[in-house]
Amino acid sequence: MLLILTTNDAPGYRITKLVGEVSGLSILTPRLTKAGMTKMFMEAREGALEQLSENARQAGANAVIAMRFDSNELGGAYVEILAYGTAVVIEPLN
């Protein structure tokens, strides 16, 4: 199980190794309806998180701290959703 946190630490855990920055990216073409866009953005965020998780696991991490989302418009036709954070190895305090 990979723990993903938006905080800079993991309460109840000790960070034993700093693995480094990891990210995941989804690119989408916005739909015209509000309901369609909301669903599409949620799916894009989930896709970016899945990529982030896979990249963190492949790097040898069991957690990501300071996770954030960012988005950018690309040429007016596409939107990229980026999930990024710091991959770490943690262990329980007890």
* 91 pLDDT tier (thresholds 50, 70, 90): very high
Read off the pTM. 0.89
Higher per-residue confidence, 35 vs 27: 27
> What's the pLDDT tens digit per position in 43-56?
999 999 999 999 99
CA angle (7, 24, 67) in 5-degree steps? 5
CATH of domain 3-92: 3.30.110.70
pLDDT beyond 70 at 32? no
Strands 3-4 and 63-74: parallel
CA-based nearest residue to 70, from 31, 41, 94, 29: 41
Cα 83 to Cα 70: distance, rounded to the nearest angstrom:
7
Domain coordinates in residue numbering, the chain: 3-92
Cα 82 to Cα 87: distance, rounded to the nearest angstrom:
15
Mean pLDDT, all residues of the chain? 93
